[in-house]
Amino acid sequence: MNRTHNSISCTAILFSLSLVFTHSQQLLQAGTIVDLTTLGNTGNIGVGFFDTNVQQATGTGGFDTFSQQSPQGNGTTSHAYNTTVNNTLDNKASDNFNRSILLSDIPIQNLSGVPHRRFSLDINESKGNGDEFLSLDEIQVFVGGTANSSVTSFTAGILDHDGTLVYRMDTGMDNWVALDYSLNDGSGSGDMFFYLPDSLFDSFSGPDVVTLYSQFGLQGVDPAGFTGNFGASANFEEWGLPAVAVPEPCSLLIMVVSLGFISLRRAC
């Protein structure tokens, strides 16, 4: 009787431990989701900081585009990096909008006093019927190595670029960012800012090449916690180099008046 009771107790304990382990594994596999489907939302994945674009007025011609991509045929996912080599993964053809960039090209923006390198993303999706959404599923940033590469192979999910990988968004835990095209004014208004601490680039110099690989649309229709089509449903997505934010004209006027008042007080 005691032996049977002990056996049942051990089985119950092992079962409980297996449930705890399974739940822990599910939590680990769930990853981090940054929800930018509400204007003003922000979030971190690792050291990367993601912010909805409330400034707008970016997009093709409005900021310095260096990478465009779109699905092939009737596909709903795309992945590419900045290169002038046509038909590399899902990149677009125009060299004006698909090209190598240098570290010195990437603007620096202070966040809470900490300098960060700043990138901008403009997505182009259908509007309405739940098709305005899109998932950003991967970012890999490389410094150095070949400019305008043609590599298309991967090892353990990492692009086989010969530069140094300084940031990877999806570290095998299904991290992703939820985006909503309808929050801004359409193509050319910009949808997201992506920041990396400038300290990541301390061992590099201005002339070093920077390659940004990204992937979109893997979450598909109605991913957990969301309703809608997060696959690509329309035109291209593009990355650009936005200008560093400057004060609004009203703020500048207040600043000028304040400085003039201070100068007048000193003169008196």
Concatenated DSSP letters of 194-219: EEEEGGGGTTS-TTSEEEEEEEE-TT
Indicate the domain borders of the chain.
Answer: 1-30, 32-244
With 0-12 / 13-18 / 19 or more C-beta atoms within 10 angstroms meaning exposed / middle / buried, residue 232 is: buried
215 in Cβ contact with 76 (< 8 Å): no
Quick: pLDDT tens for 185-234. 655 557 899 999 999 999 999 999 999 999 999 999 999 999 999 999 88
Quick: pLDDT tens for 62-121. 568 999 999 998 899 999 999 999 999 999 888 999 999 999 999 999 999 999 999 999
Q: What angle do CA 192, 196, 200 make, to 5 degrees?
A: 165
With 0-12 / 13-18 / 19 or more C-beta atoms within 10 angstroms meaning exposed / middle / buried, residue 66 is: buried
pLDDT at position 30 is: 66
Q: How far apart are CA 176 and CA 46, in angstroms?
A: 12
Query: Among the listed ranges 9-23, 24-38, 96-110, which one has the minimum average pLDDT value?
Result: 9-23
59 in Cβ contact with 121 (< 8 Å): no
Percent of the chain at pLDDT > 90 equals 64
- 217 versus 183: the higher-pLDDT residue is 217
Is the entire prediction scored with pTM above 0.75? Answer: yes
Mean pLDDT over 237-266 rounds to: 51
